[in-house]
Structure 1
Amino acid sequence: MRPFSSLKNTLLAGVLAVCATTGAASAATLHIGYSDWPGWVAWQVAIDKGWLKEAGIDADFQWFDYSASLDAFAAHKIDAVTATNGDALVTGANGHKGEMILTTDYSDGNDMIVAQPGITSVKELKGKSIAVEEGLVDHLLLLKALEKAGLDEKDVKLVNTKTNETPQVLASGEVAAIAAWQPNSGQALHMVPGSRTIFSSHEAPGLIYDTLLVDPQSLKDNREQWQKLVTLWDRVVAYIQDPKTQPDALKIMATRTGVTPEHYKRFLKGTHLLTLSDDKKVFEKGDGLTSLYGSTVVSDSFNVRYEVYKTKQNISSYIDPSFISASK
């Protein structure tokens, strides 16, 4: 899954290091960074099936580790990057502001709070220790879980832990629960017999949106190309969701990430892919999590509260609904 905000220092360093470069923004080819999250690996279907060329899109998709993709975008080395709506704010606050033109999905269960055997609800975590990487997306998920349970962060003890180390920490018995994303959450469930998921992003739909974040200059210079790419998204989603073609889609996505199709199917179940029709609603202004605007306000408040950056952002300036509106 995707780090939410730990990259503030590396992003800023990348921006400063390349402040004199012209970057790739005005290039005719669309240079797009993508990484290992089902809603983004989905683009591999369009790549492997030859749909980009068929649609008249000149795009170069470049595979990255997630943090490296954000660094590349911050350094103006690529025109666009697949990123959470929270990380869109982080890149902008640290120097390279992009615009979200498409939401590919929202997390629908892949982000979890996994508790020790015998703990069956979030309420039972009161007074107990929870391992979480502070300032990242599952810290935000944990706050939402506590809120729904009538608790506050002060009611528990946070143990700041690297996300990829949370399964081992849960197995050690040092904490009552962890907050982590797949595959770490799944690993914890496997390592600790009797452990269980007591809250997940399935219970907070729209808290974590995954988007296509694009350099504004590239949007201006290559609007027709970006429009074609957005329009193509529906074909990708349909191919993945159709029972007749899903096996082929899973094979393509699993091959890209180095796992079996059966294994990858479990990750896909925790990812709610969005069609362009869905996006028309998501891109409507609103205060709740059903709106990209409302969800991003929540992310912004979280980022400021935990000093990812200091000043609240102008949310509307990060969202361009015109491409979704123009899609048929």
Structure 2
Amino acid sequence: MRIPNPITGGLARLRRGMPALTLALGLLAAPMAGAAEPLRIGYSDWPGWVAWQVAIEKGWFKEAGIDAKFEWFDYSASMDAFSAGKLDAVTCTNGDALVMSGNGARNVMIMLTDYSNGNDIIVGKPGVKSLAELKGKKVGLEVGLVEHLLLIDGLQKAGIKESDVTLVNAKTNETPQILASGDVAAIGAWQPIAGQAMRGAAGARPLYTSADQPGLIYDVVTVTPASLAARRSDWIKLVGLWDRVVGYIQDPKTQADAVAIMAAKVGVEPAIFTRFLKGTRLLTLAEGRAVMKDADGFGSLYGSSRHADAFNVKFEVYKTPQDVKASIDPALTDGK
């Protein structure tokens, strides 16, 4: 979204009476008018996306010649902002990227940050010990988004019909309060929110996590087609910075500093955030390229996305199946 330039607007008003001054000022202002605006990227509290905070605070974007503005949101609010045209890109799950496209906000997934390896959790209230015990009970989560997908995957494995569970639609950030109220038998949330929910309801426990189905949930950076076409070289630079971020987080010499940066951003102790990282399998660009090959099954972004697309259509998150292949551009991970 381009913002009207008050300098060039003022020149238009001066043009009638002061042509020489207008011309001089116009020549000075021309480079400003032609300058590209920062890439606007929405991100939220998932560990694989908070990882970008390391690059932000270390000044690596400037070093790489990238003009990017990262804007902090609650998760669903970040997708709302993207869908409203206020962002060039947003961090989200692959299934939720399809949700935005299916509801009119077309986007293209350009890179993987990670896959969820235990941080997405169906949490049972005190006394509930298995998914089987959810039959006939209420579960609080954001209907149509990632934890709904996780719940259905778990219920199917447990032999429980979706109709045997009553869903209570709630923002993920509100699920700790809902679980503590005792009004639901379980909630669906990701870390750090899932951890808040378990700390707030003594005896609450994980019933099913994304570690039970690795590759069900991939986390991505997804971009508007217009921004990708107009600023492709800038997006290639941004994608190319990712390995530096992952390397800094995983290097024993710098990991403590990286964790301190990320933990401060989400407001938890570094020791707690370290545990969150274990449930998030960060992917290097090479690892991401391997996953972005077109194949079936949860070992492929395409296969996982087709699974999510079928889920979204079945549960009427949107009506028309999405073109998964057109929704992914793996070439940027190769700098193309």
Q: Give the TM-score of the pair, scaled to structure 2.
A: 0.82
Give CA deviations for 1:30-57 in whole Å, capped at 9, x if unaligned.
Answer: 2222222211111111121122222222
> Helix, strand or coil for the counterpart of 2:321?
coil
Equivalent residue for 1:78? 87
- Aligned pairs for 1:42-81 (under 5 A) are 42-81=51-90
Equivalent residue for 2:249? 240
Equivalent residue for 1:198? 207
Distance 1:120 1:236, change over 3 A: same
Distance 1:64 1:154, change over 3 A: closer
Task: Report if the CA contact (8 A) 1:115-1:176 is conserved.
Answer: yes
Match of residue 297, structure 2, among 259, 284, 288 = 288
- State the shift of 1:278 in Å: 1.1
Task: Report if the CA contact (8 A) 2:285-2:333 is conserved.
Answer: yes
- 1:68 and 1:197 map into 2 onto residues whose CA distance is 26
Distance 1:171 1:127, change over 3 A: same
- Aligned pairs for 1:112-261 (under 5 A) are 112-261=121-270
Letter in 2 for 1:237: V
Distance 1:277 1:169, change over 3 A: same
Letter in 2 for 1:133: E
Give CA deviations for 1:276-318 in whole Å, capped at 9, x if unaligned.
Answer: 1111111111121111111111221222222222111111111
More displaced 10-residue stretch of structure 1: 144-153 or 172-181: 172-181
Match of residue 45, structure 2, among 30, 36, 40 = 36
- 2:289 and 2:171 map into 1 onto residues whose CA distance is 36
Match of residue 279, structure 2, among 270, 277, 291 = 270
Q: Radius of gyration: which is bigger?
A: 2
Task: Report if the CA contact (8 A) 2:176-2:193 is conserved.
Answer: yes
- State the shift of 1:64 in Å: 2.9
Task: Report if the CA contact (8 A) 1:104-1:211 is conserved.
Answer: yes
- 2:142 and 2:87 map into 1 onto residues whose CA distance is 28
More displaced 10-residue stretch of structure 1: 310-319 or 211-220: 211-220
Letter in 2 for 1:196: R
Letter in 1 for 2:131: V
> Helix, strand or coil for the counterpart of 2:241?
helix
C-alpha RMSD of the superposition: 2.6
Task: Report if the CA contact (8 A) 1:101-1:213 is conserved.
Answer: yes
- 1:174 and 1:326 map into 2 onto residues whose CA distance is 50
Letter in 2 for 1:224: S
Residue 312 in structure 1 maps to residue 314 in structure 2:
no
More displaced 10-residue stretch of structure 1: 55-64 or 266-275: 55-64
Task: Report if the CA contact (8 A) 1:28-1:222 is conserved.
Answer: no
> Helix, strand or coil for the counterpart of 1:224?
helix
More displaced 10-residue stretch of structure 1: 194-203 or 116-125: 116-125
Task: Report if the CA contact (8 A) 1:29-1:60 is conserved.
Answer: yes
Tell me the percent identity.
Answer: 60
- 1:72 and 1:27 map into 2 onto residues whose CA distance is 21
Task: Specify every segment of 5 or more residues in structure 1 that has no aligned partner in the other structure, as ranges.
Answer: 1-17
Task: Report if the CA contact (8 A) 2:96-2:146 is conserved.
Answer: no
Task: Specify every segment of 5 or more residues in structure 2 that has no aligned partner in the other structure, as ranges.
Answer: 5-34
- State the shift of 1:159 in Å: 4.0
Count, aligned residues: 306
- 1:235 and 1:39 map into 2 onto residues whose CA distance is 14
> Helix, strand or coil for the counterpart of 1:101?
strand
Letter in 1 for 2:45: D
Letter in 2 for 1:279: G
Equivalent residue for 2:101? 92
Q: Give the TM-score of the pair, scaled to structure 1.
A: 0.83
Equivalent residue for 1:3? none
> Helix, strand or coil for the counterpart of 2:203?
coil
Equivalent residue for 2:30? none
- State the shift of 1:145 in Å: 0.5
- State the shift of 1:268 in Å: 2.1
Equivalent residue for 2:32? none
Give CA deviations for 1:130-165 in whole Å, capped at 9, x if unaligned.
Answer: 333322321111110111222221333444444344
More displaced 10-residue stretch of structure 1: 67-76 or 78-87: 67-76
Distance 1:320 1:183, change over 3 A: same
Letter in 1 for 2:312: N
- 2:80 and 2:171 map into 1 onto residues whose CA distance is 20
